[in-house]
Each structure stands twice: as structure tokens, then as C-alpha cells.
Amino acid sequence: MVHPRHGLIAGEDARLLSLVDVFEPLSAEEIEDISWSCASVRLRAGEVLFGEDDLNETLFVLKNGRVRVYRRSPEGREFTLCVVEGGTVFGEVALTSRGTRGAYAHCMEDSELSILRRADVERLVLRKPEVGLSLIRLLSERLSAYERRLEDLGLKEVPARLASLILLLIEREGIRTRAGYKIPTRYTHHHLGTMIGANREAVTRAFTQLRETETVETENRLIRVRDIEALERAAAEGLPVRV
């Protein structure tokens, strides 16, 4: 785990932090005045930020990069809780419960973070209630996303779950193109499977069905959506399951 240490924010760090969603109400001077536990941590792709035995009561501020937070079952299966992109925070659940024990976080690409201890976050919220309101909105949005995914797990077959996930990824990071939409992140079938509670082989079969209906295309792990309406129907109604 990364061990926080006191740090000072200035210059480029302050500019990057001003772009983070929950800090939008703050001025550059107010961001510099925050009691940062760690001003800047740089991690390479594949490095672990924290593991299941770490009891974290910290808020991680992802300035740039991408981090996957997940849990692992006793059998070793992974379930992705969220994939966080630069410009937002994670670890916010640690502010409302006894830390994030049992979860893992690893960098999907080179990333840069700042860190705040729980006590420092609480002082900041008391001083700037707007930050607290932003955290509440963010937590509500993520809880809603978790609920939708849990509903999909219980009610939908894998192709429909995959279609729902692709729609969510388009909403979060999709880029509009002349041919439809594309998702710029390269997700492996394993990573996608951990997001919808399916193994890699089931995800591969689901992609085959979506390609056969000319709904999506995949190349070099990039997903392109050709027919967004067909994808929405696949998410809502499902596709015929081929044996």
C-alpha cells in the first residue's frame, strides 16, 4: 500500500486538482491550503495502490490515469466495483464505514494521485460544505450504478449484461464518431467479465453474438458501437442465447 506523507500543493498539482469534480467549488488558493496527507504519488500501470488487508480511511484523488477497484471471492474470482478515471475521487466509502478492507486497487495505466486522510476530509467538508455536497452526489451516482449492475446480475443473461455495461462505458467515456461510438479504453474480456459477473469465455461468446447482429465491432480490444439503438434493445430485451 502507498503510505501517505505530508505534502504541499502548488503549480501544476493545484491546476490538476482544480479539475477534479468534487473540488470544483474551490479556488486554487483554497486547494493549496488543504492539509494534504500526500501531495503527489505517481504509480505505473499494474502497480497496486492497496490490497485486501489494508484498512484505508483515506480519500484518493486521481489527478490523471485510470484505477480499477475490485474485490476477490474466496475462490479467487474478481468482481470490479468501479473503474475510476482521472478527474475524480475514490475511496469515498471509507468516509462512511470502517475503511475499504477486503478491496484491491491497481492502476490500469500510469497514474498520479493525491491523498487525504479521513480527518482532513471531515475538516474540509465542515469548512466548505459545497465539497461535502459534491461527495454526496458522487456517492449517490455510484450507488445507483452498483444497483443497476446487481439487478442485471440477477435478471439478465450475459449478452444483455454485456450490452448494459457497454452502454454504461459509452456514457462515461464514449467518443462519438461518424460510424457510431467508440470506447477509447482497451478492456480485456477478463476485466469486462469482472464487471458483469461472468467468466472470460462467456464474455467472448456474448461479443460474438453482438457482432453477428452488427451491433458492435471489436479490434485490438477497442469496442466500437455501430448501432446504439440495437445495443439498447439488447440490454433491455437480451439476445437469443446460442448453445
pLDDT in tens, 38-78: 778 899 999 998 887 665 678 899 999 999 999 888 888 88
The average confidence (pLDDT) of the chain is 85
What is the set of domains in the chain, with CATH numbers? 12-144 (2.60.120.10), 156-237 (1.10.10.10)
Tell me the three state secondary structure of residue 181. Answer: strand
Pairwise CA distance, residues 69 & 107, whole Å: 9
Pairing of strands 180-183, 222-225: antiparallel
Q: Which residue has the higher pLDDT, 110 or 143?
A: 110
Which residue has better confidence, 4 or 192? Answer: 192
pLDDT (tens digit per residue) in 124-145? 999 999 999 999 998 888 888 8
pLDDT at residue 242 in the model: 43
Give whole-number Cα distances, 148 to 94, 107, 164, 240, in Å.
Answer: 22, 25, 9, 22
Task: Note the Cα 238 to chain centre separation in Å.
Answer: 25
Owner of C-alpha cell 447482429: 213
Cell digits for 98?
Answer: 470502517
With contact defined as beta carbons under 8 Å apart, do 224 and 216 qualify? yes
pLDDT value at 194 more than 80 = yes
Q: Is the pLDDT of residue 240 over 50?
A: no
DSSP 3: P
**Tens digits of per-residue pLDDT, 217-239?**
998 889 999 999 999 999 987 65
